[in-house]
Structure 1
Amino acid sequence: MKNIVLLLMIPFFMVSCEEKDELDIANKHYNDGEYQKAIQFYNKHLEMKPADEIAIYNRGRAYEELGQYEKAVNNFLKVIEIDPRNIGAYLSYGKHFYRQKDYENAAFQFEKAYKLNTNSTKSATLLARAYHKAGKVEEAMEYYNIAINNDKDNAEAYLYRGALKVHLNQSGACNDMQMAKNIGYEGAEELYNKYCN
């Protein structure tokens, strides 16, 4: 009887290992920049586990890397449908709007992500950037401040808060740009030299 039970369980373990292997292989291809191959393995994995939100999200990111934005968005929306608390999916969906220069909708998605985790520096920074681009300077300043309070090494937030202060003729702009420069943010030295030297 024991042997029969073991024999019946072998296919289950084989399928389970195969799913894991396909997901691992897909992730490896993704990390290696082989996005088309990654998508093939995410698809295989999702045939067995169609609601695996991690695989769906990663497949969406792979499509995004290939510039297939509509397919990427469909994956992000599917993740949100499965798990309405998935911060990464809201951020990626927001970036889609940001890429299209639709800063209002980008901010709307970034705000959803931020509300799910108010300690998320990334959400606060992206929300600030979207507000900044949309011309909502008070909101942008508020979220740059939040992003910096959440992470004192957030060079991006320092740089763009500094740029916003320059635009508003507020003091402290050069201090912010200096911080971004000290942390090593790309472009910070150029802006610092332009406005502060």
Structure 2
Amino acid sequence: MWGKSSYSNSDVSVTTAENPQEIFKRAYRANEKGAYLNSIEEYSNYLKLVPEDASAYYNRGVVHYTLKRYNDAVRDFEKAVEIDPSKTYAFLYKGYAYEMISDCKRAVENFEKAVSLGENKNAELYSHKARCENRDKNYKEGFQDALNALKIDKKNAYAFFELAYAQYGLKKYSDSVESYTKVLQFNPNDGVAFHNRGLALVFLNKTSLACKDFQRSSEIGYFDSKKRLDEYCK
């Protein structure tokens, strides 16, 4: 996942007493140790000397992402792919960063670019792509990408959740119940999954079962289920 320095002696036009490669190594090691701010500082020092190193921008972007500085991460990933348009992981993580700042349109665009560059066996990518598509109510696309994720990883609870969500959006309520049941087999304390399965059961006129799900969801601590109990289970 991490990029390697592209530095060579001919790259540096300024006089420095320190080999830029050593600065890059320090930045890398600082990140490994969890010294994230120090890592960012070292990558920044390196980029002053080797400003066209896509890997350094990518690596610094990943550190920003780790620190939840998603806008800074996007800027570094943008610079990385500007320098090297074939840098697949920069597109992938740019997609993740855009998702975290709720820009799902751009997230999906970057996920698709990563897939086009060969990142087509990544269940996590397809799961996050499905999540963004579901968030934007593009349920057919969300459904397909959740299936793509499950073809790669049949035990991906995240993908089953997005599959269930898309099925609900497509009014496939029985299928949605089945998929949420899969989610709960993996994560038996997922209050959102209980709540959402309950909603699907309501549409199937299985109110008593739905109320059990809303009750369990409420006990776990999912606030919206209290509203559903008042609405459907009096």
TM over 0.5: yes
Moved more, 75-84 or 162-171: 162-171
User: What is the Cα deviation at residue 109 of structure 1?
Assistant: 1.6
Q: Taking structure 1 as reference, are residues 153 and 50 closer, same or farther at Cα in structure 2, changes over 3 Å only?
A: farther
Contact 1:177 1:188 in 2 (8 A): no
Q: Do residues 36 (structure 1) and 37 (structure 2) align? A: yes
Match of 2:103 in 1: 102
Letter in 2 for 1:76: F
Structure 2 partner of 1:146: 148
Amino acid at match of 1:36: L
Consecutive unaligned residues of structure 2, counting only runs of 5 or more, are 1-15, 199-212, 214-234
Higher helix proportion: 1
Alpha-carbon deviations, 1:118-149, whole Å to 9, x = none?
A: 22223222221111111111111011111111
**Contact 1:114–1:124 (8 Å) recurs in 2:** no
The CA distance in 2 between the partners of 1:111 and 1:188, in whole Å, is 33
Return the offset for 1:98. Answer: 2.4
SS of 1:135's equivalent in the other structure is coil
Aligned amino acid, residue 141 of structure 2: E
> How many residues get paired?
180
Q: How does 1:10-159 map to 2 (within 5 A)?
A: 18-117=19-118, 118-159=120-161
Structure 1 residue 20: Cα displacement = 4.6
| Matches of 1:76 and 1:126, distance apart in 2 | 18
**Do 2:47 and 2:53's aligned partners in 1 also have CA atoms closer than 8 Å?**
yes
For residue 176 of structure 1, the aligned residue among 175, 179, 182 is: 179
Q: How big is the shift at 1:182? A: 3.7
- Name the CA shift for 1:56/1:188 in 2 (closer, same or farther; >3 Å): farther
Instruction: For 2:147, give the aligned amino acid.
Output: N
Inter-CA distance 104–192: structure 2 relative to 1 (3 Å threshold): closer
- In structure 2, relative to structure 1, the CA distance for the partners of 1:104 and 1:188 (3 Å cut) is farther
* Contact map agreement 1:174 1:192 (CA 8 A) in 2: no
Stretch deviating more after TM superposition (79-88 or 62-71)? 62-71
**TM-score normalised according to structure 1 size:** 0.75
The answer as to whether partners of 1:57 and 1:76 remain within 8 angstroms in 2 is yes
Question: What RMSD over aligned residues (CA atoms) do the two structures have, in Å?
Answer: 2.8
Rounded Cα–Cα distance in structure 1 between residues aligned with 2:86 and 2:28: 22
Counterpart in the other structure of 1:5? none
> CA 1:66/1:192 → structure 2, altered by over 3 Å: closer, same or farther?
closer
Q: When the two structures are superposed, what TM-score results if normalisation uses the length of structure 2?
A: 0.65
The one-letter code sitting in structure 2 at the alignment partner of 1:33 is G
Q: 1:67 to 1:148 in 2, by over 3 A?
A: closer
Question: 1:78-117 deviations in whole A, cap 9, x for unaligned?
Answer: 1111221222211222234323333222211211112222
Q: CA deviation at 1:19?
A: 4.4
Deviation at 1:74, TM superposition (A): 2.2
